[in-house]
């Protein structure tokens, strides 16, 4: 009888120790996002709002100045480059970074090999837009929205655009301007411009410096879908 009691005691202690070890295991860490901005930009408050929005969705976001080296993105799940950066002050090494990257700075698209080099021909900004034309509704970046015209801004504002290489997947174009892609992405390994291969997923989104606050509900859905696809959630 004493023998059975000793066995029972050992089992209870073992279960308690096991539960204690299990309780000490760390929770799943939030995906790390590096948000590259111009620290002294007049639009820095908008960058802060983007940071807060991403954090509200469970991402761990770090703001970094445009001048930093890509090494700050070690261990990150995503790099986001705001259009508040000055393209000339952003390291060319971001192009080869093997980390998913999303940007709405059209002046960086050629540096990142996501488009050709001709301003206003291969990339640029349309000054007064409100709608995009969804051309690839089945794709996860289309956020489940139907194909066709989509109201993405509350009121007219600027939209960045680019003409991606043949390896890209175009999700939306400027309304009435099918040659200008408003949202597009490259899968890892896809051929970008200059025969460069995408070292990880790459996404171009249509925002301007201060248009995040101007996104209509459908625009927010598309923004979140682009982030999620870049990271690999979708």
Whichever domain contains 174, its CATH number is 3.40.50.880
The answer to whether residue 7 sits within a structural domain is: no
**Total number of domains in the chain:** 1
**pTM metric for this prediction:** 0.87
The answer to whether residue 42 sits within a structural domain is: yes
- Cβ-in-10-Å burial (0-12, 13-18, 19+) of 201 comes to buried
pLDDT of residue 194: 82
The answer to whether residue 12 sits within a structural domain is: no
Question: What gap in Å lies between CA 96 and CA 202, rounded to an integer?
Answer: 11
The answer to whether residue 24 sits within a structural domain is: no
Spans in the chain with pLDDT lower than 50: 1-28
The answer to whether residue 176 sits within a structural domain is: yes
pLDDT of residue 12: 37
pLDDT of residue 195: 86
Range of the domain at 206: 32-231
Q: Do residues 197 and 208 touch, judged by C-beta distance below 8 A? A: no
């Amino acid at each position: 009888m004493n023998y059975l009691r000793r066995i029972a005691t050992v089992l209870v202690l073992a279960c308690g120790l096991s539960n204690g070890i299990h309780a000490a295991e760390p929770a799943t860490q939030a995906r790390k996002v590096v948000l590259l901005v111009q620290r002294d930009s007049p639009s820095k408050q908008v960058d802060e709002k983007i940071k807060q929005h991403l954090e509200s969705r469970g991402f761990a976001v770090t703001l970094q100045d445009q001048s930093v080296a890509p090494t700050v993105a070690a261990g990150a799940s995503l790099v986001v480059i705001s259009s508040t950066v000055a393209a000339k002050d952003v390291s060319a090494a971001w192009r080869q970074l093997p980390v998913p990257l999303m940007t709405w700075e059209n002046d960086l698209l050629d540096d990142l090999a996501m488009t050709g080099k001709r301003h206003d021909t291969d990339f640029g900004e349309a000054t007064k837009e409100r709608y995009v034309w969804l051309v690839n509704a089945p794709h996860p970046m289309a956020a489940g929205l139907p194909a066709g015209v989509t109201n993405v801004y509350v009121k007219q504002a600027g939209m960045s655009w680019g003409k991606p290489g043949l390896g890209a997947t175009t999700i939306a174009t400027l309304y009435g301007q099918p040659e200008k892609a408003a949202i597009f992405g490259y899968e890892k390994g896809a051929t970008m411009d200059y025969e460069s291969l995408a070292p990880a997923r790459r996404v171009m989104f249509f925002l301007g410096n201060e248009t995040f606050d101007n996104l209509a509900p459908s625009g927010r859905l598309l923004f979140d879908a682009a982030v999620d696809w870049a990271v690999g959630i979708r």
